[in-house]
A and B are shown apart, each in its own frame.
Chain A
Amino acid sequence: MKIPDSLLSRIIFAYLPFMVYAFDLEKAWIAVLCVVAVFWLTVFFFWFTRNLFPEKLRSEVFFFWLLAWAQAVWYFTKLQPLWALSVFFLIPTSFLEPSQKASRVRVFSRVVPRYFWERFLAGFGFIGFVIVMALVQEVLGRQFGMMSFQRPAGILLLLSLAAFLWKNQPYQR
């Protein structure tokens, strides 16, 4: 499963499915909490159980798990399963692939707490990113009446601005 490892790329890809949902701020909260909750649960679950599954079937197990969650969320909220794509992009699937370094780290190693902390921060960062985007769309789209910002065109313009700001962060010593 080759996906880019850079955080910005993963967050942008994870945000793309949100362009299809016609959201207001409240529903954006629900969707993003759903995405991040499943993301944290998946990382936690698969880190400890990955060695219990056959090596050849690990990615299939991951997709089955993801689709089962998407089906369950559909039962309760009728939310289209596009958010499953967001979870897929956020997940660092390297630990499921036997050829990757992360998969050779022992399950109860010293780096695990730091690994989980980084994933926790990534999820938190994604929540913040989605809420800021939803707020800006709400202000520009509804308050100022610029309907483009409620369409993919405006959203992509905002993404471009966010990517520009991320790429050009002030120099940190």
Chain B
Amino acid sequence: MNIKKTVLTMLQYLFFVLFVAVLLITLSGAKMLSQEVLKNEWYRELIRP
């Protein structure tokens, strides 16, 4: 039972690390996409403060 619980906990921590990595990669992709989107004149006008 202890081994089962340890393995489950390790899998949870692994999932956590994967989650963080996926989010960081997605953020980098979002940054690149935003640079393309911000080239549009009408979009810049829409979000102008």
Q: Which residues of A contact B (CB under 8 A)?
A: 22, 30, 52-54, 57, 61, 64-65, 68, 71-72, 75-79
Contacts and interface: CB of A to CB of B under 8 A. Distances in A.
A171 to B, nearest CB: 45
Contact of A53 (B19, B23, B30, B31): B19
A68 B16 contact: no
Given A75-B30, A76-B30, A65 B23 contact: yes
Contacts of A72: 26-27, 30
Interface of B: 9, 12-13, 15-16, 19-20, 23-24, 26-27, 30-31, 34, 37-38, 47, 49
Contacts, number: 39
**Which 5 pairs across A and B sit closest by C-beta, in order of nearness?**
A75-B34, A54-B12, A72-B30, A76-B34, A68-B23
Given A68-B23, A68-B27, A72-B27, A78 B16 contact: no
Contacts of B15: 52-53
21 contacts: A30-B47, A52-B12, A52-B15, A53-B12, A54-B9, A54-B12, A57-B13, A57-B16, A61-B19, A65-B23, A68-B24, A68-B26, A68-B27, A72-B26, A72-B30, A76-B30, A76-B38, A76-B47, A77-B47, A78-B49, A79-B47
